Chain A
Amino acid sequence: MRIFVLYFLCIIATAANAQIDTNLLRREPKDTTGMKLNMDAVYNRPFLTVGKLPVALGGYLEANWQHLGTDGVTEGHQFQMKRMTLFVASGIGHRLKFLSEIEFEDGTKEINIEFAALDMEITPLLNFRGGIIMNPIGAFNQNHDGPKWEFIDRPTSAVQLLPATYSNVGFGVYGKKYQKDWVVAYEAYLTNGFDDKIIDNNTGRTSLPATKLNRDRFEESFNGMPLATAKAAVKHRKIAEVGVSYMSGVYNKFEDDGMTLDRKRKVEVIAVDANSTLPGINTFITAEWAWISVDVPGTYSQQYGRRQQGGFADIVQPVYSKPLFGFEQSEVNIACRLEYVDWNVGTFDQTGDKISDHFMSVVPAISWRPGPQTVIRLNYRYNLQTDLLGNPASKTAGFQAGFSSYF
């Protein structure tokens, strides 16, 4: 499978003709070309420059209130500072640029360098990137800034199935080619990867996000095997963007100090993502679906899934695009997110019955964007979650309200 994907990417690479956005480090208006891809999200942000300093700054923050209840039990009113993120970008030379993203989650409970990479353009179709990069699996991992979304919570499939936001140290290449209304792009990276926490964690299930607990991954690889991540995307300006991504690596420590401990056990992820704005009514639709396969030892508990899948779909409909309360570029949207995650695809050896451990939710929302960089949103969340055995689902529901804004 990996050979197929790499071959596919090579074909695209030969046809690609990418270029680095040279306007990056200037205060620029919102991109209106419609040719930006999810992979551009890291640079497609509002930056501020100071005088003639070759450094641009930016960031965003998210805060919210929520009142959720699960089967009659609520934790009451909760006020949360979900995250504050700082960007620093620098133009080092004509074809060299640097960007970093540092995120503070839940106050200062988690502080992460999510992205800190140097980009070097060799030719437009061949750019090198090295440092802490965001593995391009699916779309959300790279395009996760709060102000871009109408929903307070990140998609469950992105953060509890896939490990968004997932960054690693590594190197890779990317490139793009524009042809009239079309843009084709690719990315491929080798980085440090997963570790055995994905099947030995306190969530009681196979969990790729559990690997984020391994802080050492920025310093050393758990098993010396690189994690390969590759993505290809194609977009027609008036139709849609579609991406296919693939990630593959070994998660276990198969040898130590020269001794063989186990065979190499693989984790593989395939994700597809798509987004489109329907002409005429401007309905924006974005969706992502991922399939995960983990080589869990046969002697381990079936509680830890060998296969997982899940995704989300957001539908956003602008309903009011006129000045409101003195905000000239106001836009009011109604939106809905549908989510599904199955953490354990398969059947019990003992009974042949389907293993459950799945989650679904629907999140209707209304948002007001007083300007393009700020969103104020009200969500109603309704979740159903079943345990491994498929017992009656626990229900969680309630309101969330908050804002997210670039600054």
Chain B
Amino acid sequence: MKRVVIIFLVFISAVLSVISCKKLEPAAPADDSILDGPVEGLTTAQKAMFLRGDVAFNDEVFTAETGLGPLFVATSCASCHAGDGKGHPFTTLTRFGQSDSTGNHFMAMGAPQLQNRALPGHEPEKIPAGARSAKFTPPANTGMGFIEAVSDADLLAIADPNDADGDGISGVVNWINIKSYITLQPGYATENGKCIGRFGKKSGAHNLLQQTAGAYNQDMGITSLYEPYDTYTGLETDPEVSTQTLQDVVFYLQTLKAPIQRNKTNPDVMKGKELFLQADCGKCHKPELRTGYSPIAPLANQTFYPYTDLLLHDMGPGLDDGYTEGNATSAEWRTPALWGLGLSKNAQGGSYFLLHDGRATSIEQAILLHGGEATVSREKYSAMPETDKKKLRTFLESL
């Protein structure tokens, strides 16, 4: 009888442990504490595509056998975008060319991107004599589908190339040559045969397909149907990533959710936002934008809060690296979205590496390095009492 009781108790314990096992497993982090995750409202088929893209982006590591290099910057997408967040100095890219807008004269020498790593037996690229260069910290990936879906008309409406309102801020779009494989969306704007770029530090890419195919090619040395030329030999090769995989990754990037603001109703955060707007930071870091047409229903006609105007601004001599892309001058940088700023540290190894090349290691340092069109805002910030500065930074960290 005693034995039967023991067996029964062991059996019940086993069943209970199975039932309760989920409670002894780590809980999911709060949605607003991570950058990963899809937008709401995807269909089942779209969720499957998102998951395929997620695997290709975060898990696929290229090797020599699967096409890596032979010159490269990273072996996987996730190397540069850990947790879909900003990059680290370890993965910072170097791009080279010249300081004027006459087109990159160093394309035959490996421009625009420096492949600073190489498979054994190969030598990495070096910046050719006479070329100018700038370092680019990889950006966060989140919410980019919303940015892609802002209409050209809206961007042109925000732009103020001649500073017509006299506020000292003159955002401009970057008109770039369009790759032949890009399908332009309804209502696209054009000027002298060029279209608007909106991705990249200098808005050098028109859409996420161009950005993604370019990154596979320039960052990892992976050719595709869209970018079929090997960066090492310059010869056209068979695609090393399938078109389906590349499109899955593009879809994944398009449908990553927008970062969610935290502590929105905290009095310091609310006051900080007020101070942010009073200092005219919001003139470039525009709090609100609206999407237009998108073939992905959850992205179409949505209001979202990226804190960017997606335009190029002259940031002054301190941030002028002497290198340019397209029509952007060497001192012009596209306003980076501030959403997700407070979560950057969780992707950058616990530290901040801000501005286009990660030179600022704190939010305050990033603010104080602003110049050019942002000089007035920087001075307004500098003139604030320390308590207000802290509230403004608290607001930025809540994004």
Contacts and interface: CB of A to CB of B under 8 A. Distances in A.
A403 interface: no
B132 to A, nearest CB: 21
A210 B347 CA distance: 27
Given A300-B117, A391-B83, A401-B14, A68 B25 contact: yes
B17 interface: yes
Contact of B63 (A202, A299, A395): A202
A321 interface: no
A261 B21 contact: no
Most chain A CB neighbours (cut-off 10 Å) among B118, B120, B350 = B120
Contacts of B347: 389, 391
Nearest to A400: B21
B61 A391 contact: no
B75 A391 contact: no
Given A67-B22, A389-B82, A391-B83, A73 B88 contact: no
B92 interface: yes
B24 A397 contact: yes
A339 interface: no
A72 interface: yes
A399 B25 CA distance: 9
Given A204-B76, A261-B121, A399-B18, A302 B90 contact: yes
B28 interface: yes
Contact of B21 (A200, A202, A399): A399
A252 B120 contact: yes
B24 A196 contact: no
B193 interface: no
Interface residues of B, number: 47
Given A348-B89, A399-B24, A72 B119 contact: no
B247 interface: no
B179 interface: no
Contacts of A280: none
A318 interface: no
A200 B89 contact: no
Contacts of A67: 18, 21-22, 25
B27 interface: yes
Given A201-B63, A391-B83, A398 B25 contact: yes
B123 interface: yes
A262 interface: yes
A289 interface: no
Contacts of A389: 82, 88, 90, 347-349
B28 A72 contact: yes
Interface in B22-41: 22, 24-29
Nearest to B71: A299
Interface residues of A, number: 48
Interface stretch (A145-153, A233-241, A349-357): A349-357
Contacts of A300: 117-120
B124 A299 contact: yes
A380 B124 CA distance: 47
Nearest to A205: B61
B245 interface: no
A301 interface: yes
A262 B120 CA distance: 8
A201 B66 CA distance: 10
B182 interface: no
A71 interface: yes
A197 B68 CA distance: 13
B92 A390 contact: no
A203 interface: yes
B60 A202 contact: yes
Nearest to B60: A202
Nearest to A202: B61
Interface in A69-117: 69-74, 77
Contacts of B346: 391-392
B26 A353 contact: no
B27 A72 contact: yes
A68 B26 CA distance: 9
B122 interface: yes
B60 A299 contact: no
Interface string A377-392: 0101000000111111
A380 B24 contact: yes
Interface string A253-265: 0000000011001
A356 B74 CA distance: 17
A244 to B, nearest CB: 31
A303 B75 CA distance: 9
A192 to B, nearest CB: 20
A301 B24 CA distance: 38
A69 B349 contact: no
A262 B121 contact: yes
Given A300-B118, A353-B349, A69 B26 contact: yes
A350 B121 contact: no
B120 A196 contact: yes
B22 A356 contact: no
Interface string B264-304: 00000000000000000000000000000000000000000
A325 interface: yes
Given A300-B120, A348-B90, A391-B349, A200 B29 contact: no
Interface of A: 67-74, 77, 196-197, 199-204, 252, 261-262, 265, 297, 299-303, 325, 348-351, 353, 356, 378, 380, 387-392, 395-399, 401
7 contacts: A72-B28, A265-B120, A299-B120, A300-B120, A301-B79, A378-B14, A397-B26
Given A349-B90, A392-B346, 4 more contacts: A302-B90, A348-B90, A389-B82, A397-B24
